[in-house]
Amino acid sequence: MAKTPRRRPGRMIPSLLRSLFRRPATTRYPFVKWEMPDRFRARPVVHTENCIGCKMCVRNCPSGAIQIEDMGEKMFQATIDLGRCLYCGQCAFVCPKKTIELTKDFELAAFDRASLVVVYHAKPKPVEEPAASAQPKAAEPQAPAA
Amino acid sequence: MPDKEKIVRVPIGPQHPALKEPESFMVDLQGEKISSIALRLGYNHRGIEKGCEERTYVQDVYLIERVCGICSHSHSTAFVQAVEEIAGLDVPPRAKYIRTLIGELERVHSHLLWLGVAGHEIGFDTLLMYTWRDRELVMDLLAELTGNRVHYAMNVIGGVKRDVPQEQFARITSVVDALEERTKYYVELAMTEETLAQRLSGVGYLSKEDAERFGAVGPTARASGVDRDTRRDDPYAAYGELEFQVVTDTRCDVFGRAVVRLGELMQTYSMIRQVLKKMPDGPTSVRAPLKIPTGEAVSRYEAPRGEDVHYVRGNGTDKPERAKVRAPTLANLQSVAKMLENGYLADLPIVVAAIDPCFSCTDRMVAVRGTSESKTMNWEELVQYGVRWYRERGIDLSNVKMRGEVTA
């Protein structure tokens, strides 16, 4: 075993002692909430009034977590299964109308799997929107293999 | 030499031999010394490659990202680069710089994690607590830049999904400065702390010849004096435009591997500063076609643990015909057996941990062929075998109804 000339052991003691008088590195989580950064990717929210039903999100979703249903009169209902969602943000990236937004709300634990399925009900379009501008593509919604 | 009866065979694993991952080591012991070692992989096979063939390229990026929880950006970048090569996409320079930035920040958090784990394996838990506390700085930074602490989801085919705006540069610089100061302390500590050197020197020796023969990659190879780094040898992303040194060491032991990783951290901080200085303006992604043409590509990426190789073959549809992942741990596993030979059993955890193993990344399909003990059984034979096995031990299962009609 090659030995190099070294100083005495216990090199960490000064910084150990310093740590004694520092605040703990952890926070008391349920009581002290950590503020997530603005660009954090957690609970996806669908602003259904802007949805044009192109279903790009459905085809792109890696885990088949999102479903878009046509409710007639150019209104669309979105269903997101938060238990399947990867929070990758691909749906928000491909959405041509930026309908989907990933919020900072990360506390999504639930006792019941069914309560993780969130439905965003269809809303009518804002009036100033020219309704005929965006025709939904009639592509079959190809959900990925589970 | 002691005779054969003195050899004791000890199974270590599959429950976490070093890190908390399944892997089996069959160790032959002569007293405290390891005379030979047999590795067995395959406890964590997830069928990711097959899964890739059944999903579209867009979905595959996220599946591939989940090959590894630590080097997730490495895997997705390697995959995306291969797909871009097949599709002939010209990735904007800004996207390349952002990929480099995230990749280097990932290296910081991976190496700090390793340093902590190595400290833990040798009973130096203070080091674990300190490095993991410092690692939080870079994890928080990654959450701010990409929106998540581990699976960054920055890559898309044709670029990156999010821009890193100029306002965040100051924050990155301040984190890098703080981490550089901490790393300098760890370097100094590693070089002067007697206990650390005593414990790690000469442990897990791997000579340069052996490292080359067994195809070791990454810090494991570089600590044995093999001057090999994909970032310099086959530059991808923005590495061709950055100045950095490949850190090597001739100690060939676990201590050398720690020194190489610490040296790489210092290089990484300088690289991040260069990326911030040189980052060009422009778009962050180009539009990629859904259907990727016929063709094949191999992509290499220097992940924190070593060289990551991805192979993709397209067949003109929106799904790849074949995707192959070679994680760095697979390349390093052969050298582990060599390192452990004639070593002590007590050194096994640190020697295995020294390659920074990631067994679930490595587990692909393993077919064992040609061994005398292996035999293929159908269900019926397997049931019969089980019944016989229990009967020899005094338990009669012959009346238990099982699928496959037990008539024993």
Shortest distance, CA B217 to any CA of chain A (angstroms): 25
C-alpha A129/C-alpha B290 separation (Å) is 29
* Tokens describing residue B154: 């920055």
Using an 8 Å Cβ cutoff, are B48 and B310 in contact? no
Considering only CB atoms, which chain A residues are within 8 Å of B134? none
Considering only CB atoms, which chain A residues are within 8 Å of B195? 9
**CB within 8 Å of B230: residues ≥ 6 apart:** B236, B300, B301, B302, B307
Which of A2, A4, A40 is nearest residue B147 as measured by Cβ atoms?
A: A40
Question: What pTM was estimated for this model as a whole?
Answer: 0.85
Q: How many residues does chain A have?
A: 146
Minimum Cα–Cα distance from B127: chain A residue: A12
| Interchain proximity A11–B162, CB inside 8 Å | no
Minimum Cα–Cα distance from A43: chain B residue: B147
Considering only CB atoms, which chain B residues are within 8 Å of A24? none
| Interchain proximity B126–A12, CB inside 8 Å | yes
- Name all domains of chain A by residue range, CATH numbers in brackets: 40-125 (3.30.70.3270)
CB atoms within 10 A of CB A114: 8
DSSP A140: -
* Region of residue A10 (left: phi > 0; alpha: psi -120 to 50; beta: else): left
Strand-by-strand arrangement of the B320-326 sheet: B295-303, B306-314, B320-326
Please name the residue that has the structure tokens 């895997």. Answer: B75
* ipTM entry: 0.79
CB atoms within 10 A of CB B61: 26
Considering only CB atoms, which chain A residues are within 8 Å of B347? none
For testing contact with chain B, the best of A57, A88, A90, A108 (most B CBs within 10 A): A88
* Tokens describing residue B336: 């582990």
| pLDDT by 10s per residue, chain B, length 408 | 555 568 889 888 787 755 677 888 889 998 889 988 888 887 888 889 999 999 999 999 999 999 988 889 999 999 999 999 999 999 999 999 999 999 999 999 999 999 999 999 898 898 899 999 999 999 999 999 999 998 999 999 999 999 999 999 999 999 999 999 999 999 988 888 888 888 898 899 999 999 999 999 999 999 999 999 999 999 999 999 999 999 999 999 999 999 999 999 999 999 999 999 999 999 999 999 989 999 999 999 999 999 999 999 999 999 999 999 999 998 998 898 889 888 898 898 899 889 888 888 887 765 666 666 667 788 888 888 888 888 888 887 777 766 655 454
| Interchain proximity A9–B193, CB inside 8 Å | yes
